[in-house]
A and B are shown apart, each in its own frame.
Chain A
Amino acid sequence: KAGVTQTPRYLIKTRGQQVTLSCSPISGHRSVSWYQQTPGQGLQFLFEYFSETQRNKGNFPGRFSGRQFSNSRSEMNVSTLELGDSALYLCASSLPGTSGGEETQYFGPGTRLLVL
């Protein structure tokens, strides 16, 4: 199976702009989770989508939002970008409710966002 893919891989934006990142899960996986990785805060959970519904949300401001489509692809959006939003954004896919490892999260290569 093809792995999790994320686009774009690199992005440079300026403060105040908005950005949309995309994640395509492993075929058959229905859950997509998003994480932010920064040197200062480490890896932090943003939110999880399953069957087009947000099931869990981390402690991030409302500027961070997401959605999931019927084919399980997910997008996350950050509005009114701040310098502190510069980070590696990782998405992970899984098939919850199963066993044998499918419920384990497998990560994409990430999108590196730089806010100037």
Chain B
Amino acid sequence: AQTVTQSQPEMSVQEAETVTLSCTYDTSESDYYLFWYKQPPSRQMILVIRQEAYKQQNATENRFSVNFQKAAKSFSLKISDSQLGDAAMYFCAYRNTGFQKLVFGTGTRLLVSP
């Protein structure tokens, strides 16, 4: 069974600074998807960024980018120019190709200070 590990329960960053959230996963599959979701206090799960495993190029979405290391099974999220609105729980998730089941990590709480 696939597993996702987020080893940082909580991270802090100041506004305008850069922060990196870590995620590792375990799978025997070669084709899969990886995601970062953000869950603010409203509890609405919001997609931040996704990565297809067959793509070597790291995904980017505005201030958000990932460092995808397939061999190391690592998928970290970098948030640049952090904003107060970035404060939330961040979940790393894995999905096999062809299946809709998402396997989530335990989450990292990101605190952003002025």
Residues in chain A within 8 A of chain B (CB atoms): 31, 33, 35, 42-43, 45, 48, 50, 55-56, 58, 88, 90, 92, 94, 96, 101, 104-110, 112
Contacts and interface: CB of A to CB of B under 8 A. Distances in A.
Contacts, number: 52
The B contact surface, by secondary structure, is loop
B100 A33 contact: yes
A105 B95 CA distance: 10
A55 B100 CA distance: 9
Contacts of B33: 104
A56 to B, nearest CB: 5
Given A31-B100, A45-B103, A48-B101, A104 B50 contact: yes
A44 to B, nearest CB: 8
Contact of A58 (B46, B101, B107): B101
